[in-house]
């Protein structure tokens, strides 16, 4: 399988007054096409920092990152924004939907940015919502959807551009147990069906148990990286 994410020697330091605080300490990590992986660790471990750096939302102090073969550490702001749009799907804990747009319009917005023709956009956006179980709810705005339904819209939006990888930051944190379990099953099924790589930053042991690769980060280093069979 081809490598979708390649991190080599990634460090990240923050300056707090006169003190340098290390957040990441020489991370080496490769994710292959089609992986379904969790990134776990205690608060302050560096997992969110690493997720943001892989997603191009933050820059490393040192090291190299390749996304689908492209070195993103050499890109300017405009080129990085274009790569995020085309190669990376994001799912956030707070959903980050546009409140004045319907579910269909939220998903369609990504395709507008990509310059996809209107008739093609409509078909792809409807198909993406159908794939996450929201057929028939396309015209509802976020305030008329449950938390689980809003997160499904966010997943549809993340996948509609056919990205190389989907990065999810605590995707089940605001959901009740059944809704969270259903969402984990949905992401696992989409991973298997579409072959899209997923990296889920999470504290949720249910998510960790369902991923086929578990990466544990502590004190800015990878403490554990294991692949194992799961119950799907």
Q: Where are the domains of the chain?
A: 35-59+80-227
Closest among 85, 91, 123 to 201, alpha carbons compared: 91
Please check whether residue 151 is in contact with residue 163, taking contact to mean a CB–CB distance below 8 angstroms. no
DSSP for 84-130, please give it: HHHHEEEE-TT----TTS-HHHHHHHHHHHTT--HHHHHHHHHHHHH
Percent of the chain surpassing pLDDT 90? 80
The reported pLDDT for the residue numbered 71 is 94
The reported pLDDT for the residue numbered 230 is 56
The reported pLDDT for the residue numbered 174 is 80
What residues in the chain have per-residue pLDDT under 50? none
CA–CA distance, 199 with 90 (Å, rounded to integer)? 10
Closest among 188, 157, 159, 161 to 172, alpha carbons compared: 188
The reported pLDDT for the residue numbered 17 is 87
Q: Rounded to 5 degrees, what are φ and ψ at 11?
A: -120, 150
The reported pLDDT for the residue numbered 126 is 94
CA–CA distance, 205 with 82 (Å, rounded to integer)? 34
CA–CA distance, 230 with 177 (Å, rounded to integer)? 19
Please check whether residue 45 is in contact with residue 9, taking contact to mean a CB–CB distance below 8 angstroms. no
User: Which tokens belong to 1?
Assistant: 């399988």
The reported pLDDT for the residue numbered 50 is 95
CA–CA distance, 183 with 12 (Å, rounded to integer)? 32
The reported pLDDT for the residue numbered 231 is 52
3-class DSSP state for residue 56?
coil
User: Which tokens belong to 198?
Assistant: 């997923």
- Would you identify the CATH topology of the domain 35-59+80-227? Rossmann fold (3.40.50)
The reported pLDDT for the residue numbered 32 is 95
The reported pLDDT for the residue numbered 95 is 81
CA–CA distance, 221 with 12 (Å, rounded to integer)? 11
What is the pTM assigned to this prediction? Answer: 0.92
The reported pLDDT for the residue numbered 96 is 87
User: Which tokens belong to 213?
Assistant: 């690769």
Please check whether residue 132 is in contact with residue 186, taking contact to mean a CB–CB distance below 8 angstroms. yes
């Amino acid at each position: 399988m081809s490598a979708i994410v390649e991190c080599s020697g990634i460090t990240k330091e923050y300056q707090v007054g006169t003190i340098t605080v290390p957040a990441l300490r020489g991370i080496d990590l490769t994710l292959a096409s089609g992986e379904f992986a969790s990134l776990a660790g205690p608060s302050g471990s560096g997992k969110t920092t690493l997720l943001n750096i892989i997603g191009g939302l933050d820059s490393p102090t040192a090291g190299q990152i390749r996304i689908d073969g492209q070195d993103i550490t050499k890109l300017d702001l405009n080129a990085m924004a274009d790569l995020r749009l085309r190669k990376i799907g994001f799912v956030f804990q707070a959903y980050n939907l546009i409140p004045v747009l319907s579910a269909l319009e939220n998903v369609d917005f990504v395709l507008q940015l990509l310059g996809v023709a209107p008739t093609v956009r409509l078909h792809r956006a409807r198909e993406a919502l159908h794939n996450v179980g929201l057929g028939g709810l396309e015209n509802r705005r976020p305030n008329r959807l449950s938390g689980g339904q809003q997160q499904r819209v966010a997943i549809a939006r993340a996948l509609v551009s056919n990205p190389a990888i989907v990065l999810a930051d605590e995707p089940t944190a605001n959901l009740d147990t059944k809704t969270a379990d259903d969402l984990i099953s949905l992401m696992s099924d989409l991973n298997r069906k579409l072959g899209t790589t997923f990296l889920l930053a999470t504290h949720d042991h249910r998510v960790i148990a369902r991923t086929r690769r578990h990466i544990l980060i502590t004190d800015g280093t990878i403490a554990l990286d294991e692949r194992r069979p799961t119950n799907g």
